[in-house]
Structure 1
């Protein structure tokens, strides 16, 4: 599946500001048709998630904080239901709004619904709207595909899901062309790093992304977001095709340490997954089929789970339910799994196919791609 479809919670960072500086965001929702009871603000900065909330008083609200660069945040409102006794179910397109925050005084005014709003005081947000306009038609198509994929998924229509995935691939290529065009033509933009993160995706091609990154001003590359991107590129270089996979040791389900290099001499698939990951669980039958067909010929799998703390039972149950009979390891640290961090894993499922010497010869092989690759190896 494409990186666009699995885009879950990317680090969406902008240009540099020398140091932490205050920002104030004031909002006016007095013209929103339905009564707004509370507003929530969330954003990711300096390696941490930030969440805040405030009550609406006389149709207005205020958030305050500090930033050292422009950051894409998300505003969400809760609307009272028609009876006025509870809250209406949240609708992302109606009750949410993406806003580029930056140091200084910002304001947002909603017109008739919360998502129909005007922002002032943020040059980064103005640039963000221009970029969104470039991709509006594609974003609308992506929303339609997401809806269809959900319908096929609920109906367990595998053929329909695969067709949607192919359409996502084509759509992603068009989006990436737009992001690349924007970055190369707007290297000084306060959202250049945001666009580069979207272009790079979760499975970064260092040879492609690094030259574009180096086009950005030195101040941008030295910002918090720039250093984060440089680190991602460095990890991508260490996990590229033809590179010897970095060794690691992590405990299996019984608490016994397992070292990657102990699998030398076999073709090995390092499979990053988790019990809570729907796409991972849907891919597992294909991985099981590959293991059963080629294990006796010299193929093995090492599962690395990103299951959450205190969730060992769920991890074990998924292993049993999905018939994953190969070695499984995890430190149950969720996205901070030490091996996942070492390999720069930002989304799952992801995998790396190694040859008997430990060299990476394939990445993110799923479905028919995995079967075809193994068929070539073991013909």
Structure 2
């Protein structure tokens, strides 16, 4: 959640620097220098001095208000981290924003961040006083409109652990069930946190889906809990050993039936998905894709698009891995998802990119027969690039999101294929 809130506040500061010249003209240079010094210093007292000096020279008006609100937000956060709630509240109260909330709004973000910090420091009373009314308001609006508010996911990421610790699983189920169903059986913040956190530092117990499954289990909904855990297992994004350990800490039917139910569910899901993939998808030469005929131990599905710069930036390293492992039982199928509205333009962009990138493995255009089978949706792809590694039975072995240079994929292939030679 912290990563998301930080990202939401970065752009206003950048926008401020880019547009300041129109408003301040000759004063731009000294104020920019002052801005730099504010964010460079580490001492909170010095930061406040810079803030006050800036305020004396440049009034809090117009676009400059964005800077001051971000400055107040940062100071409030630092006081919260120092366990000085009174000062944190004082600085939050100074934040003034007009108009409806949007993803660049400062006030709701720092409100949630300070609440989260105080909960971590043991002041759950304050955290609940801030988050519970917000959660109720978002939930009621969701029920009325059928659409979750902008902050629904991140508010619940803060509030859910509190409800679990206070033994209120029914409340967790109430808040999360409609959002889980609306978001197609996943939580966006879970994927973002996995992507942004080093593997050795990611705590799966903080995962919102894990907490949701636990709440379902505690309310007696064994079937629902297993379905949530099955979706996590099928996605290949999480460490399966850690997930199994968490399930083993549960009591009752989930622990007893998890292994058999999940495996059965996965087999049915994988079979259905692969049958449809082979039925509706053709490669760039118009040939059907028969995964069994490929005779590979592992097949990588590379979800990309001609428009996606990180996707295409990952291709040179992917070509190196393909050369290294193709004779050891490794194959790749590229699945492009094009953004052009015109079908002919989709095909042209795709074929041109395949040629330009020199991709030797089989290529599929997901837009073709997309209504009959959308591979992006069926494989739960929410970001590009995404690379999904399948075993010979079509089970997801691992999922790699984003372009990290291919190190994780390379390490996985080394683990799976080099040890066998």
* TM-score of the pair, normalised by structure 1: 0.46
Which of the two has greater helix per residue? 2
* TM-score of the pair, normalised by structure 2: 0.42
The structure number with the bigger radius of gyration is 2
Which of the two has greater strand per residue? 1
Task: State the structure with bigger RCO (CA 8 A, min sep 6), 1 or 2.
Answer: 1
